[in-house]
Chains A and B, each alone.
Chain A
């Protein structure tokens, strides 16, 4: 069975401190994994993707994620949070040509 679990529904950090958004996955196949960000009343924007190349993936806006097969995890990190990072973040698993499985999302709040 394919699934994605985002371990925190809400994360709050102070501006300038590190961000960690956690994601675990379950897949019978070699997964493709993505992180998307959604700002209020907007569509989803791709942050980064993992497709069985390098396990440490760098994305836009200073975000990166590390694929750990032994832990079935794909956590998203950023060294220093900005106010503009406040949004909803989705971890997404792709299997096959067209099936995307979304996590339930993590809302990131950045405190000034």
Chain B
């Protein structure tokens, strides 16, 4: 079946513009995660949804970052008034429901590479 799909693959924006990044998780996956991966670094956690509920947003770097998943499937990560330091690859991942959360691998999309000029 289809994997996690992210769009657009590449996004260039001018500093100060708002951007919206989309994630289509694997069908049936209740958990959805957003990560930020700076150049040459490992991904860093941004936020986590279980169905439509945003259970953890502790990784969002500022109040300019906002994520939603209104119907418990597709999610959008929005960044307002973009800054150059927002330039990164934004990865989305999803995972299926399990009784035990331990060892539950996440399935990643190919990411959106965001460049702020």
Contacts and interface: CB of A to CB of B under 8 A. Distances in A.
Contacts of A50: 103
Given A32-B103, A94-B103, A105 B109 contact: no
Contacts of A104: 41-42
13 contacts: A34-B105, A41-B110, A41-B113, A43-B111, A44-B108, A46-B106, A49-B105, A52-B103, A94-B103, A94-B104, A98-B33, A98-B56, A100-B33
A102 B43 CA distance: 6
Interface residues of A, number: 25
Given A43-B108, A43-B111, A94 B42 contact: no
B20 interface: no
Contacts of A41: 110-111, 113
Interface string B76-117: 000000000000000101000000011111111111010000
A35 to B, nearest CB: 11
A30 B93 CA distance: 23
B58 to A, nearest CB: 9
A74 interface: no
Contacts of B55: 98
Contacts of B26: none
Nearest to A105: B42
